Amino acid sequence: MSRFDWLSEFLARFEDDHPIARYEDVRALAPAHRLELDAEDWGAAGKIAAAMGLRHAGVWADPLGDRPSESPQESGSEIEGPAIRVQACLERDGDYLILQTLVPETRPVLDSHTPLFPGVDRLERHAQDLTGVRFHGHPDERRWTRHQAWSTDDFPLRADFPIEGRSVRRTPADVDYPFTRIQGSGVYEIPVGPVHAGIIEPGHFRFQAAGEDVMRLEARLGYVHRGIEKLAVGRDPQGLMRLAGRVSGDSTVAHAWAAAQAMERAVGCALPPRATSLRAILAERERIANHLGDIGAICNDVGFAFAHVQCARLREQWQRRSAALFSHRLMMDTLVPGGVAHDISETDFRELRLDHAALHKAIAPLFDIIDDHPSLDDRLIGTGILAQADARALGCTGYVGKASGLAFDVRRDNPYAPYDQVRVEVPGETAGDVAARVRVRMKEVCASLWMLDRLLDALPEGEIAVPFPLPEEGAVGLGLVEGWRGEILCFVRFAAEGRIARYFPRDPSWFTWPALERLIHGNIVPDFPVCNKSVNGSYAGVDL
């Protein structure tokens, strides 16, 4: 049976009321299908998607400038002058659908999907801040990514905005952000950040608490907005890969893979099997390294230093092997468009084998202790519970979703090479607390370790890269990769001469930051660090 069995239902429901959807050139964003809508039907499509229980995987805007007629269906567009294309991604059962529409730059207004899908709140505000698209009916009018570095009516991603910006004066602090306040006797506020009391990325948290109980938490991010999307414009594919590897340093392989996948799909570049297997080896190594670090750090946050030290030791050894084999401790710049930059020799192959066996032997007793230690249980079980309904409403993926009963994994549910050749175990827990997130991570470490050996067993011979063809102007591609944090989505559009016109990487953290604000409810302030670490959202990955 062919996939996309819900798409026909979606189309049927849509056609009942709005017969003007264009379902042409459907595979341009494979593996997703693509549906072109009129701008006024944007809200209606969202309503049908919500009624059908689809997951909203994000929305982004793509200012096309004066050339909106790149793809066939838009040549008949009635919009004159510069236009902005807005795209939204929906998912269910591993099948993806991209909705897209066109709005004029002079009056870019669309119905908001946020009232139906609370997880896209900040993505819509991000699009508004950077491109000027306004989402009608959005419950939150406040700016998000924009602080004070550019003014309200400047939109950095539009063609007329210079990359160097328009203001050279010192950027003032973002002190007047209107936080939502709870008032009442005994309620007080704790402001934290952007410079935190540790070695951690910058962001601001505003707690409202009564006694020790957190009544409300609001995150204010955007402090590490570096203009990634604007910097991507005009780069060549190799240049984009270097940038993608630095969207979020701990997910460098995953983001680079997503960008590579998007570009390779845009030009129809088929990878040699050895290259995809090596990419998977890199990605699983990244997953294991980060989980090891986080499991230790979570234990450390509740005073169990033993696990922290042991995990840090294993992580360090693991990273050293990465450095020896792939010339980089975090494996940055190991992926290139069309393949990978490093092959492994017979000696490396044997060393990897021994390494996997050694890690397997080391984690078994360690994870036993973490799994069954009374002082840890006391602090982790029942702490920071994310209800399944909340996880679903926000669209959480990765260990946050998996610990709350949403066992979605791109590697299994919409497999890309080489995961179509290897069994992907997706751990599931239902408790949704910190302990569940730790257990999911421990199981993922074991599953990845098992998978690494299978990938080595079946490592194909041959080339590790093919020449990357020159992309056509207007070619678009979608990357969908399971990073260690969850699903990473990446959109790429090419301009003339193989240059990048638009790059949008959507990190899973967009949905787990709001999850943190919900799961902290009713917990005590001193448990915030451990709750935060168990979610571990990326700041750089969402500030872009």
Q: Does 227 bind another protein (CB under 8 A)?
A: yes
Residue of 88, 281, 344, 366 interacting with another protein (CB under 8 A): 366
Residues near 414 by Cβ (< 8 Å), separated by ≥ 6? 31, 94, 95, 96, 480
List Cα–Cα distances, 60 to 98, 124, 500, in angstroms: 11, 7, 16
Strands 83-92, 95-104: parallel, antiparallel or unpaired by DSSP? antiparallel
The token pair that represents 349 in the structure block: 């192959």
Residue of 231, 341, 459, 466 interacting with another protein (CB under 8 A): 231
Report the distance separating Cα 291 and Cα 412, nearest Å.
19
Residue of 136, 226, 350, 423 interacting with another protein (CB under 8 A): 226
Segment contacting another protein (CB under 8 A): 239-247, 383-391, 417-425, 515-523?
A: 239-247
Minimum distance of another protein from residue 243's CB (angstroms):
6
Q: Looking at beta carbons only, is 113 or 321 nearer to another protein?
A: 321
Minimum distance of another protein from residue 354's CB (angstroms):
18
Q: Looking at beta carbons only, is 115 or 249 nearer to another protein?
A: 249
Q: At which residue do the structure tokens 């995953």 appear? A: 254
Q: Looking at beta carbons only, is 178 or 467 nearer to another protein?
A: 178
Minimum distance of another protein from residue 165's CB (angstroms):
3
Minimum distance of another protein from residue 102's CB (angstroms):
26
For another protein (CB under 8 A), the number of binding residues is: 61
Report the distance separating Cα 5 and Cα 259, nearest Å.
28
Adjacent-strand bridge partners of 502: 493
Q: Phi then psi for 52, rounded to 5 degrees?
A: -90, 0
Residue of 368, 378, 472, 497 interacting with another protein (CB under 8 A): 368
* Cis? peptide before 526, omega within 30° of 0: no
Segment contacting another protein (CB under 8 A): 23-31, 57-65, 222-230, 271-279?
A: 222-230
Minimum distance of another protein from residue 473's CB (angstroms):
25
Residues near 139 by Cβ (< 8 Å), separated by ≥ 6? 112, 114, 115, 121
Report the distance separating Cα 77 and Cα 481, nearest Å.
33
Minimum distance of another protein from residue 2's CB (angstroms):
40
Site string for another protein, 299-338 (x = CB under 8 A): -------x--xx-xx-xx--x---x-----xx-x------
Going 172 to 178 to 179 to 181, the CA torsion angle's sign is positive
Q: Looking at beta carbons only, is 404 or 534 nearer to another protein?
A: 534
Check: CB of residue 244 under 8 Å from CB of residue 256. yes
Minimum distance of another protein from residue 488's CB (angstroms):
14
Check: CB of residue 66 under 8 Å from CB of residue 82. yes
Segment contacting another protein (CB under 8 A): 107-115, 180-188, 225-233, 416-424?
A: 225-233
List Cα–Cα distances, 363 to 100, 125, 353, 441, 445, in angstroms: 46, 43, 16, 12, 9
Segment contacting another protein (CB under 8 A): 8-16, 241-249, 347-355, 381-389?
A: 241-249
Q: Does 365 bind another protein (CB under 8 A)?
A: yes
Q: Which of 400, 488, 394 is nearest to 440 (CA)?
A: 400
Q: Does 131 bind another protein (CB under 8 A)?
A: no
Q: At which residue do the structure tokens 């020790």 appear? A: 212
Q: Looking at beta carbons only, is 112 or 248 nearer to another protein?
A: 248
Q: Does 27 bind another protein (CB under 8 A)?
A: no
Q: Looking at beta carbons only, is 267 or 370 nearer to another protein?
A: 370
* DSSP letter (8 states) at residue 482: E
Q: Looking at beta carbons only, is 408 or 528 nearer to another protein?
A: 528
Q: Looking at beta carbons only, is 105 or 250 nearer to another protein?
A: 250
Adjacent-strand bridge partners of 307: none
Report the distance separating Cα 267 and Cα 469, nearest Å.
7
DSSP SS3 for 331: coil
The token pair that represents 454 in the structure block: 């299978």
Three-state secondary structure string covering 6-27: HHHHHHHHHHHHCCCCECCCHH
Q: Looking at beta carbons only, is 200 or 470 nearer to another protein?
A: 200
Minimum distance of another protein from residue 422's CB (angstroms):
28
Report 139-198 residues binding another protein (CB under 8 A). 147-150, 156, 161-166, 170-174, 194-195, 197-198
247: region left, alpha or beta (phi > 0 left; psi from -120 to 50 alpha): alpha
Report 243-282 residues binding another protein (CB under 8 A). 243, 246-250, 252
Q: Looking at beta carbons only, is 97 or 241 nearer to another protein?
A: 241
Report the distance separating Cα 99 and Cα 90, nearest Å.
8
Q: Looking at beta carbons only, is 274 or 285 nearer to another protein?
A: 285
Q: Looking at beta carbons only, is 33 or 308 nearer to another protein?
A: 308
Minimum distance of another protein from residue 77's CB (angstroms):
30
421: region left, alpha or beta (phi > 0 left; psi from -120 to 50 alpha): alpha
Minimum distance of another protein from residue 162's CB (angstroms):
7
Following DSSP, what letter does each residue of 491-540 receive, concatenated?
A: EEEE-GGG-EEEEEEE-THHHHHHHHHHHTTTSBGGGHHHHHHHH---SH
Q: Phi then psi for 296, rounded to 5 degrees?
A: -60, -45
Minimum distance of another protein from residue 98's CB (angstroms):
27
Site string for another protein, 511-540 (x = CB under 8 A): ---------------------------xxx
Segment contacting another protein (CB under 8 A): 60-68, 70-78, 224-232, 524-532?
A: 224-232
Binding site for another protein (CB under 8 A): 147-150, 156, 161-166, 170-174, 194-195, 197-202, 222-227, 230-231, 242-243, 246-250, 252, 293, 306, 309-310, 312-313, 315-316, 319, 323, 329-330, 332, 365-366, 368-369, 538-540, 543
